[in-house]
Amino acid sequence: MDQPFPETLHESIDFPDGLALDCGRRLRSLTIAYRVYGLLNAARSNAILVCHALTGDQYVAETNPETGKPGWWDRVVGPGQPVDTDKFAVICANVLGGCMGTTGPRSPHDDRPDEPWGTDFPPVTINDMVRAQKRLIDHLGISRLFAVVGGSMGGMQTLAWAAMYPDHVFAAVPVAACAYHSAQNIAFHEIGRQAIAADPAFHNGRYWAKGVTPERGLAVARMTAHITYVSEAALTRKFGRKLQDAATLSELGDRFEVESYLQYQGSSFVRRFDANSYLTMTRAMDLFDLAAPHETGLAGAFAGSKTRFLLVSFSSDWLFPTAQSRAIAWALNAVAANVSFVEVKSDKGHDAFLLDEPDFHRTLAGFIAGCAEHAGL
Amino acid sequence: MDQPFPETLHESIDFPDGLALDCGRRLRSLTIAYRVYGLLNAARSNAILVCHALTGDQYVAETNPETGKPGWWDRVVGPGQPVDTDKFAVICANVLGGCMGTTGPRSPHDDRPDEPWGTDFPPVTINDMVRAQKRLIDHLGISRLFAVVGGSMGGMQTLAWAAMYPDHVFAAVPVAACAYHSAQNIAFHEIGRQAIAADPAFHNGRYWAKGVTPERGLAVARMTAHITYVSEAALTRKFGRKLQDAATLSELGDRFEVESYLQYQGSSFVRRFDANSYLTMTRAMDLFDLAAPHETGLAGAFAGSKTRFLLVSFSSDWLFPTAQSRAIAWALNAVAANVSFVEVKSDKGHDAFLLDEPDFHRTLAGFIAGCAEHAGL
């Protein structure tokens, strides 16, 4: 990024009345960038909201205009896919605090519109993200979402949707999700934040004013996160201990394939992602705790819910492990909610929700078909 | 560090004939800093070598002169402790490549003795570390060590001792160890190395010439490592999601206790540790692979061994998990070696080997007593 504001124009809607945030502050202007795949029916009853993860965006099922890569969930969303765009209108919005067109640290400052928010951007929560999405859904004239679906941070949003707007969500599918961010999760995020803050190009978050980006810090943050997204088995299968250049033991440079892969992951990421957004969004995840406001704990978040839930976890996910999804299932059972819970056997780690996992895709397709029948779709 | 060379004088021996290294290069001068606790008997048959871990040093069982803290293993080594200094002479040397007196990146350069090696220091291996220790043991007139004991990187050295000098090791106790560094282990180290390299104070390793230290990068490296040393349960027990200042949601500063703890861990570490040593030693660990040189795999490393082994792992250690120790036990069984293997139930993670773990200490004391009887001590 050589300039304060991004170049790509994303399809978006402005909400000039802004948005009140959990922190007590108010965004005076709010823009939500989003994409829709498939057609809304006359009753507007066939909408599925997809919520994206930390490094995702609204380009679920089409070429991403910034990276040129395929949509991040085109295995799951599309014509004939488990989330079938021939039958459903699939909506995905860039999250509040993001950097792909929705209001975030890279958007014009409310008070100084010639410069971006940067680190002045208020801290947002997962609930704030959901409130922003609700504005979009209202704007589109959708009174009830047929389903909300998301993995990882998207799964947090899915749970928050079901907790905050139970009458507006017929079905909810939190995938590889959790009801709160654990101490270990927070610790890994903190590594990334420290690495970004330690980069001299960060300039206390005003890097945009200098025409630079804290690339090295952001790359270290991405590398750290990436390790937590994959299983030990997946890393080993991909790289094992293969030496890049087995001949040389004579210098301290990069030696193992896994290292150059991680460096590549880091460097490709920094070309497309805003560091202040990364700080804002990791903080939102760390603050997430569905049970906290409720005297009865997690069950209290879902009391009286009529939403149908499908919880999916992956056996080798050590970041948001199965035990987290099971705890959500127990809480839903405690309030007699309608819940299915599937642990998919996979050795791909947390990232499995993005990858080729036929069991997950079959389970999701079956659940959606069943719910569609109940919903009269 | 405000000057190229450290101030503290450590007890050490010079080996003016140097040391040949695995990389093909030769250190023309070699200094080994070490400590001895307890008295060597007349037959010099009661020596126990303790090998330290990545961030350890030779101050096993006495106040550390640089940190002022108690010895890092004073729960295990001392009068009446499992490694009893009333009965045994316990030796511990700072490893080759370290920064506490043994030859390493902070030592005078062979060709330019007015400046330290810095990043010119040759890459060393775990085997090189053991070769250096063997020189010390020979110098002390010890033909056979009664035992070699070490955890983590110290466990790697213990295994290497048994593999390289089987006739010189009566008993070996690798604790929380592994026979090779996994792709995930390497990846976590790479995060740390990248963070150090990204720190502008690193100056391509010539920070000593500028009178600065890459403190922020080293702190991020230490934070990353620290997370891998503790279990999820231990982090949660210590911190959970306690907010440092529950009142405020209004800024993006440090919010969770775990974060300030990690920052403290990082910053106390950078005051005592040399970044180039950290790079050298993590690289040595990454290169460790006992099985690689042997056509028959790991078992080949121990063929014909008469050493008595006790392998100890900790159930919640996810860095060097039990499966790694079990694989070593299988390899030892395959060559009919004398091996005991104990998985200690603990929720303290990899760090458990340093902490108050009575089952581990009892097991170690029992094994050493049994071996002493067999050795006629």
> How many angstroms separate the CA atoms of A206 and A15, rounded?
27
Contact A190 B262 (CB under 8 A): yes
Q: What type of residue sits at position A180?
A: Y
Range 192-211 of B in CB contact (< 8 A) with A: 194-195, 197-200
Which pLDDT belongs to residue B237?
82
Task: Please tell me which residue of chain A has the smallest CA distance to B237.
Answer: A183
Which pLDDT belongs to residue A156?
98
Number of H helices, E strands in chain B: 10, 12
Residue among A60, A76, A51, A75 nearest A153 (CA): A51
Quote ipTM for the complex. Answer: 0.82
Q: Which residue has the tokens 């999820």?
A: B232
| Average pLDDT for B344-358 | 96
Contact B188 A266 (CB under 8 A): no
* A162 near B CB under 8 A: no
What are the φ and ψ backbone dihedral angles of A200, each rounded to 5 degrees? Answer: -60, -25
Which pLDDT belongs to residue B308?
98
The answer, yes or no, to whether residue A244 has pLDDT greater than 90, is no
Judged on CB neighbours under 10 Å (0-12, 13-18, 19+), A323 is: exposed
The answer, yes or no, to whether residue B252 has pLDDT greater than 50, is no
Is the separation of the CB atoms in A270 and A278 below 8 Å?
A: no
The answer, yes or no, to whether residue A250 has pLDDT greater than 50, is no
Range 323-342 of A in CB contact (< 8 A) with B: none
Q: How confident is the model at residue B341 (pLDDT cuts 50, 70, 90)?
A: very high
The answer, yes or no, to whether residue A7 has pLDDT greater than 70, is no
Strand ranges for chain A from DSSP E: 12-15, 19-20, 26-27, 30-37, 47-51, 77-78, 83-84, 89-93, 145-151, 169-175, 308-314, 338-344
pLDDT tens-digit profile of B39-51?
999 999 999 999 9
**Strand (E) or helix (H) holding B146:** strand B145-151
What are the φ and ψ backbone dihedral angles of A340, each rounded to 5 degrees? Answer: -110, 145
| Average pLDDT for A63-68 | 90
Is the separation of the CB atoms in B136 and B113 below 8 Å?
A: no
Is the separation of the CB atoms in A302 and A159 below 8 Å?
A: no
- From A35's Cα to the closest Cα of chain B, the distance in A is 30
Residues in chain A: 377
**Structure tokens, B346:** 């603990």
**Structure tokens, B6:** 């450290």
* DSSP secondary structure letters along B49-87: EEE--TT--S-SSS--TTT-PPPTTTTTEETTSSEETTT
Q: Which residues of B are catalytic?
A: 152, 317, 350
Average pLDDT taken over every residue of chain B: 91
Which residues have CB under 8 Å from B250's CB, separation 6+? A23, A24, A25, A122, A123
Which pLDDT belongs to residue B72?
96
* B86 near A CB under 8 A: no
Q: Which residue has the tokens 């040389």?
A: A248
Q: How confident is the model at residue B255 (pLDDT cuts 50, 70, 90)?
A: low
Is the separation of the CB atoms in A190 and A214 below 8 Å?
A: no
Is the separation of the CB atoms in A142 and A47 below 8 Å?
A: yes
CA A39 to chain centre: 24
A/B interface, count of CB pairs below 8 Å: 162
Q: B123: which chain A residues are within 8 Å (Cβ-Cβ)?
A: 249-252
| Average pLDDT for B181-208 | 91
What's the pTM?
A: 0.88
pLDDT tens-digit profile of B146-163?
999 999 999 999 999 999
> How many angstroms separate the CA atoms of A146 and A167, rounded?
11
Q: Are strands A145-151 and A47-51 parallel, antiparallel or unpaired?
A: parallel
Which pLDDT belongs to residue A367?
98
Contact A24 B250 (CB under 8 A): yes
Output the CA angle A331-A337-A339, nearest 5 degrees.
Answer: 85
**Strand (E) or helix (H) holding A371:** helix A358-374
> How many angstroms separate the CA atoms of B196 and B210, rounded?
16
Contact A216 B235 (CB under 8 A): no
Is the separation of the CB atoms in B338 and B310 below 8 Å?
A: no
Which pLDDT belongs to residue A334?
95
Q: B279: which chain A residues are within 8 Å (Cβ-Cβ)?
A: 252
* DSSP secondary structure letters along A120-169: GSPP--HHHHHHHHHHHHHHTT-SSEEEEEEETHHHHHHHHHHHH-GGGE
Is the separation of the CB atoms in B184 and B162 below 8 Å?
A: no
Pick from A123, A183, A239: CB nearest B252: A123
**Structure tokens, A4:** 């304060």
User: In this structure, what is the dihedral angle of CA atoms B28, B192, B92, B361, given to the nearest 10 degrees?
Assistant: -160
Output the CA angle A126-A49-A139, nearest 5 degrees.
Answer: 90
Is the separation of the CB atoms in B37 and B61 below 8 Å?
A: yes
Interface test with A, best of B258, B261, B263, B348 (most A CBs within 10 A): B258
**Structure tokens, B11:** 């007890």
Average pLDDT taken over every residue of chain A: 91
Range 230-249 of A in CB contact (< 8 A) with B: 232, 235-236, 238-241, 249
Pick from A191, A195, A289: CB nearest B241: A289
Residue among B165, B167, B176 nearest B129 (CA): B165
> How many angstroms separate the CA atoms of A46 and A50, rounded?
13
* DSSP secondary structure letters along A274-298: -HHHHHHHHHHHHH-BSSTT-TTGG
Residue among B222, B190, B216 nearest B201 (CA): B216
> How many angstroms separate the CA atoms of A349 and A363, rounded?
18
Which pLDDT belongs to residue B1?
40
Which residues have CB under 8 Å from A15's CB, separation 6+? A29, A30, A31, A32, A135, A139
pLDDT tens-digit profile of B211-223?
999 988 898 899 8
Which residues have CB under 8 Å from A321's CB, separation 6+? A313
> How many angstroms separate the CA atoms of A156 and A124, rounded?
14
Contact A224 B191 (CB under 8 A): yes
Interface test with A, best of B124, B232, B262 (most A CBs within 10 A): B232
Indicate the DSSP class of residue A208: H
Interface test with B, best of A199, A259, A285, A298 (most B CBs within 10 A): A259
> How many angstroms separate the CA atoms of A160 and B32, rounded?
59
> How many angstroms separate the CA atoms of A50 and A108, rounded?
26
**3-state secondary structure (DSSP) of residue B22:** coil
* DSSP secondary structure letters along B160-224: HHHHH-GGGEEEEEEES--SB--HHHHHHHHHHHHHHHHSGGGGGGTHHHHT---HHHHHHHHHH
**Strand (E) or helix (H) holding A236:** helix A232-238
Residue percentage of chain A with pLDDT more than 70: 93
User: In this structure, what is the dihedral angle of CA atoms B295, B298, B299, B302, given to the nearest 10 degrees?
Assistant: 110
How many other β-carbons are positioned within 10 Å of the β-carbon of residue B2? Answer: 8
> How many angstroms separate the CA atoms of B137 and B15, rounded?
12
> How many angstroms separate the CA atoms of A70 and B245, rounded?
43
Which pLDDT belongs to residue A247?
41
Q: How confident is the model at residue A270 (pLDDT cuts 50, 70, 90)?
A: confident
pLDDT tens-digit profile of B99-128?
999 999 999 999 999 999 999 999 999 999
Q: Distances in Å between the alpha carbon of B173 and those of B246, B354, B366?
A: 46, 14, 12
Pick from A181, A249, A283: CB nearest B252: A283
Please, what are the domains in chain A? 12-182+291-374 (3.40.50.1820), 185-283 (1.10.1740.110)
> How many angstroms separate the CA atoms of B61 and B35, rounded?
9
pLDDT tens-digit profile of A178-218?
999 998 999 999 999 988 988 899 999 999 999 999 988 89
**Structure tokens, B227:** 């997370």
Contact A219 B198 (CB under 8 A): yes
Is the separation of the CB atoms in B192 and B221 below 8 Å?
A: yes
Task: Give CB contacts under 8 A, 24+ apart, made by A203-206.
Answer: A204/A119, A205/A105, A205/A118, A205/A119, A205/A275, A205/A276, A205/A279, A206/A118, A206/A119
pLDDT tens-digit profile of A319-341?
999 999 999 999 999 999 999 99
